[in-house]
Chain A
Amino acid sequence: MPFPPNRTVTDVSELITGERLSHLRELEAESIHIIREVAAEFEHPVMLYSIGKDSSVMLRLALKAFHPAPLPFPLMHIDTTWKFREMITFRDRMAEEYGLTMHVQTNEEARQAGVTPFSEGSNRYTKIMKTQALLQGLARHRFDAAFGGARRDEEKSRAKERVYSFRDRFGQWDPKHQRPELWNLYNGQLGPGESIRAFPLSNWTELDVWLYIHLENIPIVPLYFAKERPIVERDGSWIMVDDDRLPLEQGEEPVMRMCRFRTLGCYPLTGAMPSTATTVPEIIAEMLTTRFSERQSRVIDHDAEGSMELKKREGYF
């Protein structure tokens, strides 16, 4: 398995002789510790790979945690079949390049029944195509621990999430019955059928993720960089016409717009933002001046106050 030789020796010497570790190196060390703990304590861990920037960072940390040994667990992608095409290309390329075992899980039954982002409200669609598919995938492979790239700074209900987030036999999260988590001593003891979601990026912010991508030269999906893309405007969101499955409404005509994506998901549910940032430093500079949180571009969060909390109770990431 090739390991990307992207770090120069100066980086490393800076890291060990410097006054103290930078916050990024400290976060990195903490995340690697978590990943190694989970890999050592559980029988069938899996890394949920969403193809986005957070997953890219998480994957890099995992590769580092076990280098020069291969990853001791597989990856799993929950494919709603409505992801951007570039995401799928990128996913397959990464699996190939790093020799990863990549499970792809789709709620086939629902897909054949004709569930699409347009047939259902975004809430119901997410529940069927993401939450249910995820639970199906976990059950099918009997995974007892699933890494997720979620960060506590993403959304209010995430701020109280544990690093080891305990799920009952039905994959459900009960915010009132989470185990206290002290120091770096995580309790991974499980009863039959129970599982955890592990969040190694808990203490990272969106800015940290981008700084790390820059520092480490981590490959990310090109959709994060600004480019002219065919866009239709819906309810104030810029939706990219990624393929011919997007039903155009009366009078709707795709227009080429210079834009990029701050988060990635199902293309009909993910808004683009106007941007000219074509490099990681430009994205970071843009971020430092932006006044909107990344979840704003996710249509699913707008449904109701506290909607993320409801989704998590049901078993969402």
Chain B
Amino acid sequence: MGAHTMETMTEAQAAELLRDHERKELLRFVTVGSVDDGKSTLIGRLLHDTDGVYEDQLAAVRKASRMEGSEIDFSLITDGLKAEREQGITIDVAYRYFTTARRKFIIADTPGHVQYTRNMATGASTADVAIILLDARLGVLPQSRRHAWITSMLGIRHLAVAVNKMDLVDYEQATYARHEAEFRAFADDLDFEAVTFFPISAVKGDNVVEPGGRTPWYEGPSILEFLETVPIPRREEGSFRFPVQTVLRPNLNYRGFAGQVASGVVREGAKVVALPQRTEAVVAGIDLYGETIAEARAPLSVTLRLDREVDVSRGDMIVPADDVPEVRRQFDAMVVWLSEKAHDPNKTYLLKHTSRFVRARIPKVSWSLDMNTLAQAEVEHLSLNDIGRVRVESHQPLYTDPYRVNRRTGAFIVIDSMTNNTVGAGMILERGAERSLEDDAAATGARREVSPAERRELLGHGGAVVWLTGLPASGKSTIAFALERGLFDRGTLAHVLDPDDFAAPDGSATPTSPSPEAVAQMARAVADAGGIAIVSFVSPDADERDAARAIVGAKRFVEVHVATAEKVCRTRDARGLWDGVAAGTLAGVPGVDAPYVDPPSPALTVDTAGQRRDEIVRALCDLLAQRGVLAQG
């Protein structure tokens, strides 16, 4: 801050001063360190040396310092709450502010204690830059690696490593160089654009605000110089994303969609689509508090008007017509667990993603990070301060970008719907092997407001297709109806699709009359509705069965081979197929005069000659339970 006083400042100088202050940039950074690394002292020093501490606050600190018997303790400038001051430890994220001629700074001051990973994640979530502190006497600790890892995961690309307490190692260059080499060895594998090192003494002030001093061998900038020049990520560079917060409709002539540009730029006249409706429209105007502007870039809060009536409400997203985000119900994410109550894979949570709340489950944890080795460990669920890769299944589709690409549309929080607490913080990963047909359905049928998960909750089971294939007269229909009865009796919605139902109008019972695709489409509709379609269909061709599997979706397609021996089928031939072929009145009957290809790997093979009907039904129910369609037991 300037040393001007009112007396010495001309009006022109005052105007210039104001202009400078009104044009400053904003940089948010997070400070991370283990207990006693001197983090509070570093921040106190930064605030003090940039005139960020007032006389009366300093007087209070001097008073408190005396009570603790030391000289002036800079850490007391920042240690806030009474409880933690008594414990002598910082327990929560605190935000500090200071300003220089070039930039205004927001510091998220996070505690480094082992069990407070969640606070670090909180502080890092809004930061552009991180400063990690090392104690020069101790060097790289397990926590240091952990801190770097979390910082990188939360999307921070510029890392500063302050090797503090250099005064206690006699400002030895070799010590500093050793720590730097050790840190770089593992930081190189992380996702940083740049890692910069500083030899400092927060207590003495070396290389904090002014460079040089007692480290003549160090030619780099001070911490403050770094903070004043480090590039700030430009959020206007990404794809345009506009989550609608609220709809403004003061009168019949005005309908505006209010929100903050999450990323990218939008211009008047741009072609956009509103998700999930996918209605195309053109941006008719961008209103910024009563002014109309030609373009809006992130992170401005604006109001968009569209050229036509579009049904858009809070939680929807306006995006460019040619650059839409992914529409996903299932995705993999990195999640930091924030609650003492462990994650429950069977529970339905609330997620907040952009301006949208959805219900979702986190059924699977692929791995969790072992905090000591940074190796991937197998776990069933996440506990407090765990970080893990999980699968998320949302009841409603979300419009997402990977977190690495977009920190706004890639982030979500997890809320316990019983306690209303925020229990998790998630970062969506690139789409990988988890792509599912359900996602495709979500992408094309995003209008649907009832999700598969909601149907499952209503019915108590999932949708599926049981596809019974086998020779004519092998007993498929008998099993189908027995299974339908059995499922119905246990409260399951099931429905048999029998090709006899679609027999040709002339009454001929040719078993090949409907196309396998048509049958598969119908079966899929039943499964989509949440029911279990039981298809009794010869379907002799393996390729056609595979096509049916693709239409339904492999996950919910249960192929059952009714492998009753041909000679048994022949004796049961009520429709006279074998006789007909023999007499020359019928042709192309699979298994008789046309090929029937056995399924190479059916989910189940049954034999109606050797097994009782109720045994087969029980086996099928067990199979459906194993597949997760029916509840276990």
Contact = CB atoms under 8 A, between A and B. Distances in A.
A binds B: yes
Interface of A: 3, 5, 7, 9, 12, 15-16, 18, 20-30, 32-33, 36-37, 39-40, 64-70, 152-153, 156-157, 159-160, 175-176, 178-187, 189-191, 202-203, 205, 207-208, 211, 214-215, 276-277, 281-282, 284-286, 288-293, 295-296, 305-306, 309
**Most chain A C-beta atoms within 10 Å of own C-beta, residue among B6, B15, B55, B296:** B6
A212 B417 CA distance: 39
Given A28-B301, A175-B83, A289 B421 contact: no
Contact of B93 (A21, A160, A189): A160
A292 B246 contact: no
A153 B97 contact: yes
Given A20-B234, A185-B352, A179 B421 contact: yes
Interface in B402-459: 407-408, 411-413, 415, 417, 420-422, 425
Contacts, number: 226
Contacts of A191: 420
Contacts of A276: 6
Contact of A66 (B80, B248, B295, B355): B248
A198 to B, nearest CB: 14
Contact of A20 (B25, B83, B314, B353): B25
Contacts of A153: 96-97
B252 interface: no
B459 to A, nearest CB: 27
A68 B250 contact: yes
Contact of B23 (A22, A28, A291, A292): A22
B78 interface: yes
Contacts of A211: 18, 21-22
Interface stretch (B121-129, B169-177, B594-602): B121-129
A179 B82 CA distance: 19
Given A12-B291, A25-B300, A291-B54, A159 B78 contact: yes
B415 A285 contact: no
B350 interface: yes
Given A16-B294, A40-B246, A156-B80, A24 B22 contact: yes
A214 to B, nearest CB: 6
Contacts of A203: 95, 97, 106
Contacts of B246: 36, 39-40
B96 A159 contact: yes
Nearest to A152: B95
B143 interface: no
B92 interface: yes
B56 interface: yes
Given A22-B23, A214-B18, A12 B54 contact: no
Given A32-B260, A293-B54, A65 B6 contact: no
B586 to A, nearest CB: 67
Interface string B238-278: 00000001101110001010111000000000000000000
Contacts of A293: 54, 56-57
Given A16-B297, A182-B425, 15 more contacts: A3-B290, A21-B299, A29-B300, A30-B299, A69-B249, A159-B95, A176-B83, A180-B118, A184-B260, A187-B413, A211-B21, A285-B17, A291-B54, A306-B82, A309-B82
Interface of B is mostly: mixed
B611 interface: no
A306 to B, nearest CB: 4
Interface of B: 1-6, 9, 14-15, 17-18, 21-26, 54-57, 60, 64, 78-83, 85, 91-97, 99, 103-104, 106, 109, 118-119, 121-122, 125-126, 232, 234, 236, 245-246, 248-250, 254, 256, 258-260, 287-291, 293-297, 299-301, 303, 314, 338, 350, 352-353, 355, 407-408, 411-413, 415, 417, 420-422, 425
Contacts of A175: 81, 83, 92
Contact of A181 (B2, B122, B254): B122
Contacts of B2: 288-289
Nearest to A208: B104
Given A36-B258, A160-B81, A203-B97, A180 B6 contact: no
B411 A159 contact: no
B301 A32 contact: yes
Nearest to B94: A159
Contacts of B250: 68-70
A286 B526 CA distance: 74
B55 to A, nearest CB: 4
A207 B92 contact: no
Given A189-B420, A289-B6, A40 B245 contact: yes
A207 B5 CA distance: 16
Contacts of A33: 245, 259-260, 301
A24 B57 CA distance: 25
A182 B6 contact: no
**Most chain B C-beta atoms within 10 Å of own C-beta, residue among A16, A20, A152, A306:** A16
Given A20-B234, A175-B92, A189-B350, A288 B97 contact: no
A182 B122 contact: yes
A285 B9 contact: yes
B290 A23 contact: no
A15 B299 CA distance: 12
A203 B352 CA distance: 22
A207 B296 CA distance: 27
B293 A20 contact: no
Given A16-B294, A152-B97, A289-B5, A22 B415 contact: no
Nearest to B121: A182
B262 to A, nearest CB: 9
B415 A187 contact: yes
Contacts of B290: 3, 5, 64, 67-68
19 contacts: A16-B300, A21-B297, A21-B299, A23-B24, A40-B314, A68-B287, A156-B81, A159-B78, A176-B83, A180-B119, A180-B425, A183-B126, A183-B407, A187-B415, A203-B97, A285-B6, A289-B1, A289-B4, A309-B82
